[in-house]
Structure 1
């Protein structure tokens, strides 16, 4: 039976991903929309990197899986998904006479800012070091952007732990998904001397019969006299959609951190039985995963 977890997550952080830059200016990764606004983002590759980093730090995921024996840096030929949670979740490509590949089971979108970038710059120098030897400091400027960000993650449960002739026990499949959920709950990123917190302030999703990121692109941020709000209308319309005669709302849950968004009461009233804390959301998903794998 096909089942897919999909969840769209909102978090707040600053200056998450830099590009090459020009001269002594470090530029944030960003793109422009048709209305002229610029939005920064953390690439899906950067999110993947930090998920795998935490998988290794917290759960001992095996990272001794790469070599350059074929002339390019890639996963070792003799390593399988049984040896590597990373390869199981995020796929691989092994180029050789007989190339092997595995499409990602866990798919990530970019984490895109919900607030436009306004060209803020920070001026830097190394005065502290230079003054020790009576030298002139080096100068630099880096772009800065503090914002709410949003990304979507999907997990094809029926493909976890299955790759060709290799199939892991259901207990191991459930364990790997649970570890991933725990990582997403406390995801963080180390960048330029900072540890940014990417853990969810708002999350919406569930376990569905179809592999579709329902709430990707449906999260809108609005400013009101009371503070920041997440617009309810696009979420309500999405939940009213049906697949095979079944409303999306039936399997959808919402989790939020109290005190962050000014209209949290609106969610509690409109989606009363489906709204709770972030912890309650992840507990519900974990229970659904355990049920799917027959635990």
Structure 2
């Protein structure tokens, strides 16, 4: 039975991803929209890096599966998804000279984390005066772009493809363990950058487990700045809730997790769904982990529906 888990999340952080830069200026990764506003982002690759890093730190994910085969840094030829949680969740491509590449599409798809607040060209002036003074030298100067903002990104997981790759088929217990570990990582996600450790743990989540693997709420998060804080635009979210997939109504399978005191229209957000479908952030992850275990450990054994 096909099932897709999708989460669109919001977190708050500072200056998450830098590009090449020019001269002594470190530039944030950013893009411009047609309305003239500029937004910063953390790339999909940077988020994946930190997810895998935490997978190794928290759950001892096996990262010793990389080699320089064929003159290319890639996963080892004989490594399978049984050996590597990373290969299972995020896919792989193995090149073999004179043969077609061996590939596996990502089962877990992660979008870039895009700022919800526009970048206003804030800069930080840096120097190494403390070290320079120790040896009687002039200090070096640098400028670094800064942006503190709310960010949003979406994760979509095809639950039916976890642990399945050609002849390799993992046990339901192992499939459940890998997805629950991933959800735990998303709940605790952080990023180490330039001497800081930024907290990427969600403040708001909307999503759930559906009969189709689709990022229903991607692109539906918009911020309304207020004099005393922020509000989320509920009209876009409500439009997403009204969608249907054949006989399945999205709103009946959608849940919200929210930290209290973040958004001024918290009551409006809570009112979009019945109270049993609205949780704290931790409550949302507890609910999803319970449903994932049910999908793999109950449905696959008993043939029940979720």
The TM-score normalised by the length of structure 2 is 0.95
- Report deviation, 1:168: 0.3
Runs (5+) with no aligned partner, structure 1: none
8 Å Cα contact 2:19/2:28 also seen in 1: yes
Structure 2 CA distance, aligned partners of 1:226 and 1:36? Answer: 25
Report what 2:55 is aligned to: 55
Report what 1:11 is aligned to: 11
Report what 1:276 is aligned to: 279
- 1:142 and 2:144 equivalent? yes
Structure 1 CA distance, aligned partners of 2:166 and 2:114? Answer: 35
Report what 1:286 is aligned to: 289
Report what 1:34 is aligned to: 34
Structure 2 CA distance, aligned partners of 1:207 and 1:194? Answer: 34
8 Å Cα contact 2:251/2:273 also seen in 1: no
Q: Structure 2 residue aligned with 1:162, among 164, 182, 189?
A: 164
Structure 2 CA distance, aligned partners of 1:107 and 1:268? Answer: 27
Q: Structure 2 residue aligned with 1:183, among 182, 185, 188?
A: 185
Secondary structure, aligned partner of 1:150: strand
What aligned pairs does 1:94-173 form with structure 2 within 5 A after superposition? 94-96=94-96, 97-98=98-99, 99-173=101-175
Cα distance per residue 1:79-130 (max 9 Å; x no partner): 1000000000000000003321100000000000000000001000000100
What aligned pairs does 1:220-235 form with structure 2 within 5 A after superposition? 220-235=222-237
Report what 2:257 is aligned to: 255
- Report deviation, 1:76: 0.4
Structure 2 CA distance, aligned partners of 1:103 and 1:158? Answer: 13
8 Å Cα contact 1:267/1:275 also seen in 2: no
- 1:83 and 2:83 equivalent? yes
Structure 1 CA distance, aligned partners of 2:42 and 2:70? Answer: 31
Secondary structure, aligned partner of 1:181: helix
CA RMSD of aligned residues (A): 0.9
8 Å Cα contact 2:176/2:297 also seen in 1: no
- 1:206 and 2:208 equivalent? yes
Runs (5+) with no aligned partner, structure 2: 299-306
Structure 2 CA distance, aligned partners of 1:23 and 1:204? Answer: 41
Cα distance per residue 1:35-81 (max 9 Å; x no partner): 11100000000000000000000000011111113101000001100
Structure 2 CA distance, aligned partners of 1:224 and 1:117? Answer: 17
- Report deviation, 1:260: 1.0
Structure 1 CA distance, aligned partners of 2:74 and 2:271? Answer: 50
Report what 2:221 is aligned to: 219
- Report deviation, 1:276: 1.5
Cα distance per residue 1:9-42 (max 9 Å; x no partner): 0000000000000000000000000011100000
